[in-house]
Chain A
Amino acid sequence: MIERIVAVAENAYVRLFLVALVFLALQTTLLNEMRPFDVSLEIMILLAASAGLARGSEVGAIAGFMIGLMYDFVLTTPLGLGAAVFAIVGYLAGFVHSFVHEPTWWSRVILGAVASGIGMILMAGAIALVGTDGIFTTKVLTIALVVALFNALFSLPTERLCRWAMTKEKAVR
Chain B
Amino acid sequence: MAGQSFTRRRIIALLALTSLILITLDLRDSGITTGLRDAFAVIFRPIESATRVVTNPIRNTWNGIVNYDDVAEENRRLKDLVARQEGAAIANIAGIREAQELLSLNGLPTLAGIESCTAQVVGSTPSNFSQTVEINRGRSCGIRVGMPVFNAAGLIGKITEVYNDRAVVMLITDPAYSLAVKVVNTPPTTTAAPGSDNTVESTTTSSTSTTSTTTTTIFIEGFEPGATVATSPPTAPPTLPDGRPVTPNTSPLTVPPGADLPLRETGALEGRGLNRLPIVRFIENQPRFGEIAVGSPVISAGGATSLAPPDIVVGTVSRIVNRSGTLGPILEVNVAANLENLNFVRILLYQPTTERVDQ
- In angstroms, Cα B45 to Cα A21, docked, is 10
Asked if residues A81 and B44 are in contact (CB atoms below 8 Å), the reply is no
Asked if residues B11 and A58 are in contact (CB atoms below 8 Å), the reply is yes
A132 contact set on B, CB distance < 8 A: 175-176
A139 contact set on B, CB distance < 8 A: 273-275
Asked if residues A76 and B161 are in contact (CB atoms below 8 Å), the reply is yes
Contact of A73 among B21, B37, B124, B130 (CB under 8 A): B37
Check B338 for interface membership: any CB of A closer than 8 A. no
Residues B6-35 near A (CB distance < 8 A): 7-8, 11-12, 15-16, 18-23, 25-27, 33
Check B51 for interface membership: any CB of A closer than 8 A. yes
Decide: A79 near B18, CB < 8 A? Known: A40-B126, A124-B129: no
B25 contact set on A, CB distance < 8 A: 79
Check A49 for interface membership: any CB of B closer than 8 A. no
Decide: A38 near B274, CB < 8 A? Known: A31-B126, A75-B127, A80-B23: yes
Check A12 for interface membership: any CB of B closer than 8 A. no
- Interface residue stretch chosen among B58-66, B194-202, B256-264: B58-66
Identify the B interface with A (CB < 8 A).
7-8, 11-12, 15-16, 18-23, 25-27, 33, 36-37, 40-41, 43-44, 47-48, 50-52, 55, 58-59, 62-63, 123-130, 132, 160-161, 168, 170, 174-176, 270-276
Decide: A62 near B44, CB < 8 A? Known: A29-B55, A79-B36: no
B176 contact set on A, CB distance < 8 A: 76, 132
Chain A interface mostly helix, strand, loop or mixed? Answer: helix
Contact of B51 among A30, A69, A78, A84 (CB under 8 A): A30
Decide: A30 near B58, CB < 8 A? Known: A25-B51, A73-B44: yes
- In angstroms, Cα B129 to Cα A72, docked, is 12
Closest to B273 in A: A134
A27 contact set on B, CB distance < 8 A: 126
- In angstroms, Cα B43 to Cα A77, docked, is 20
Number of A-B contacts (CB under 8 A): 146
- In angstroms, Cα B229 to Cα A168, docked, is 91
- In angstroms, Cα B271 to Cα A62, docked, is 35
Asked if residues B127 and A83 are in contact (CB atoms below 8 Å), the reply is no
Asked if residues B41 and A73 are in contact (CB atoms below 8 Å), the reply is yes
4 cross-chain pairs, A with B, having the tightest CB-CB distances, nearest first: A80-B22, A25-B51, A84-B19, A134-B175
A74 contact set on B, CB distance < 8 A: 40-41, 44, 126
Asked if residues B129 and A34 are in contact (CB atoms below 8 Å), the reply is no
- In angstroms, Cα B25 to Cα A91, docked, is 25
Asked if residues B124 and A32 are in contact (CB atoms below 8 Å), the reply is yes
6 example contacts (A-B, Cβ-Cβ < 8 A) are as follows A21-B47, A24-B44, A29-B52, A76-B130, A76-B132, A81-B23
A83 contact set on B, CB distance < 8 A: 15, 18-19, 22
Asked if residues A40 and B128 are in contact (CB atoms below 8 Å), the reply is yes
A54 contact set on B, CB distance < 8 A: none
Contact of B128 among A21, A69, A134, A143 (CB under 8 A): A143
Contact of A135 among B7, B12, B126, B273 (CB under 8 A): B273
- Residue of B50, B128, B161, B273 most packed against chain A (CB within 10 A): B128
Asked if residues B26 and A79 are in contact (CB atoms below 8 Å), the reply is yes
Asked if residues A65 and B19 are in contact (CB atoms below 8 Å), the reply is yes
Check A104 for interface membership: any CB of B closer than 8 A. no
Least distance between A72 CB and chain B CB atoms (Å): 8
Asked if residues B276 and A134 are in contact (CB atoms below 8 Å), the reply is yes
- Residue of B19, B26, B176 most packed against chain A (CB within 10 A): B19
Asked if residues A29 and B274 are in contact (CB atoms below 8 Å), the reply is no
Asked if residues B175 and A133 are in contact (CB atoms below 8 Å), the reply is yes
- In angstroms, Cα B19 to Cα A61, docked, is 12
Least distance between A126 CB and chain B CB atoms (Å): 9
- Residue of B11, B20, B123, B170 most packed against chain A (CB within 10 A): B11
